[in-house]
Amino acid sequence: MIKKNISIIGLGYIGLPTAAILADTGHKVLGVDINTDVVDGINSSKTHFYEPDLDELVINNIKNGNLRADIELDDSDIFIICVPTPFKVDGNNKTPDMSYIEDASLEISKHIKKGDLVILESTSPVGTTQKVAELIQNQVGDCNGMFFAYCPERVLPGNIISELTDNDRIVGGLDNASTAIAADFYKTFVKGCIHLTNSNTAEMCKLTENSYRDVNIAFANELSLISEKYDIDERELIKLANFHPRVDILQPGVGVGGHCIAVDPWFLISDSPNKTNLIRTAREVNIKKTEWVKEKVEEKIDDYKSKNGYEPLLACMGITFKPNVDDIRESPALEIALSIKNNYKQTLIVEPNLEKIDGVDLAKLNFALEKADIFVFLVGHNNFSKEDFLKKINKKDYLDFTGIVNFNKI
């Protein structure tokens, strides 16, 4: 393997694990981030978020000198852009904020030379790789002999380290030479297949994958609303339907969170507002599910009060965006818990995967188990499916929006 000097711009959930894996493969990696705390932390072998097996990779590769972090970019053979692409709210629409990608492109233009490869991994609207190349061309005058490709990350938080190497990858160059050079690079650390295409298709493919998941979850969420009317357990319904060899419905929940599925469909919607009815409706269904959950909790509190004659102590169980992670980005469970607590002071918030979170008082699991009258399961953490825990919960009053209690009933 030819070892390369690689710069990764953006040391977040994708950039840092990618930097650590590339360093571990033997490349010399510079991780660049605007946040000095993040940079200082990594240089002293400390990561700023939890991801299984990441700490060890960072510690080993800082120690052997293959990985270092800085706030300044340097000359490199390969530049990988892993910065965020959040959205800006614009009335009923959400449009992508491209400023981080633009800033990264301008920084790269100060260091790029002929023969270098620029890879965009950030989730982006179709056409962004082309724009990155144009931005750099405007700065350096001539991009001949420089290569540009889009290669979307597809890893699942909680499983990032293994998925970064095991998953298939899509590589889409701005031209055939870029595709070939980028594919050769990914072959140095990816065990999955590498599928070649052009940059527009690769960009659209990433948005398609996450929009598909959003639409599928919206279908499951819609089924859960219909099922309530007939007193049908929606999870049993979906399990039975999925026995059909050509049906594969995902699970309903309290809404869709995280920085991918709840965000990426908007990149397609904002670019083609008149052609994205299904994708927009799915987004709306998933957003409305969160509101529906809040209403159900309010009804439960009122019901409890009228039956028992006193105000119950409520425990919201789980506030991360999905089970078994410590990530609260775009978390519908957090939104629900805070909204309930705001309207109803007798509310505890329990999150076993977080020690603390700014502005929220977290209650310990055991304290809630002892004191609370009603448990509202918002996230299906593994902690909530342990036998001892379930035995206690089964004797209590609860609402389960996750299936973790109802499906593991003992």
At closest approach, how far in Å is the CB of 213 from ligand SAJ? 4
> Phi and psi at residue 283, in whole multiples of 5°?
-55, -45
> Based on CB atoms, which residue is closest to ligand SAJ, 124 or 276?
124
To the query of whether residue 206 is one of the catalytic residues in this protein, the response is yes
Catalytic residue among 82, 143, 151, 260: 260
At closest approach, how far in Å is the CB of 283 from ligand SAJ? 12
For the chain, what is the HEC assignment? CCCCEEEEECCCCCHHHHHHHHHHHCCEEEEECCCHHHHHHHHCCCCCCCCCCHHHHHHHHHHCCCEEEECCCCCCCEEEECCCCCEEEECCEEEECCHHHHHHHHHHHCCCCCCCEEEECCCCCCCHHHHHHHHHHHHHCCCCCCEEEECCCCCCCCCHHHHHHHCCEEEEECCHHHHHHHHHHHCCCCCCCEEEEEHHHHHHHHHHHHHHHHHHHHHHHHHHHHHHHCCCCHHHHHHHHCCCCCCCCCCCCCCCCCCCCCCCHHHHHHHCHHHCHHHHHHHHHHHHHHHHHHHHHHHHHHHHHHHHCCCCCEEEECCCCCCCCCCCCCCHHHHHHHHHHHHCCCEEEECCCCCCECCECEECHHHHHHHCCEEEECCCCHHHHCHHHHHHHHCCEEEECCCCCCCCCC
Residue with tokens 């499983």: 159
At closest approach, how far in Å is the CB of 316 from ligand SAJ? 15
Name the pairing type of β-strands 87-90 and 93-96.
Answer: antiparallel
> Based on CB atoms, which residue is closest to ligand SAJ, 312 or 318?
318
At closest approach, how far in Å is the CB of 211 from ligand SAJ? 9
> Based on CB atoms, which residue is closest to ligand SAJ, 213 or 300?
213
> Based on CB atoms, which residue is closest to ligand SAJ, 210 or 270?
210
Catalytic residue among 4, 206, 289, 322: 206
To the query of whether residue 151 is one of the catalytic residues in this protein, the response is no
Token output for 360:
């929220």
At closest approach, how far in Å is the CB of 49 from ligand SAJ? 13
At closest approach, how far in Å is the CB of 250 from ligand SAJ? 3
Residues at the contact surface with ligand SAJ, assessed by CB under 6 A:
123, 153-157, 209-210, 213, 217, 250-251, 253, 256-258, 260-261, 321-322
At closest approach, how far in Å is the CB of 114 from ligand SAJ? 32
Q: How far apart are CA 363 and CA 369, in angstroms?
A: 10
Q: Which residues pair with 171 in a beta bridge?
A: 196
Which distant-in-sequence residues (6+ apart) come within 8 Å of 365 by Cβ? 350, 352, 383
At closest approach, how far in Å is the CB of 270 from ligand SAJ? 17
Token output for 352:
């076993």
Residues marked active site are found at: 206, 260
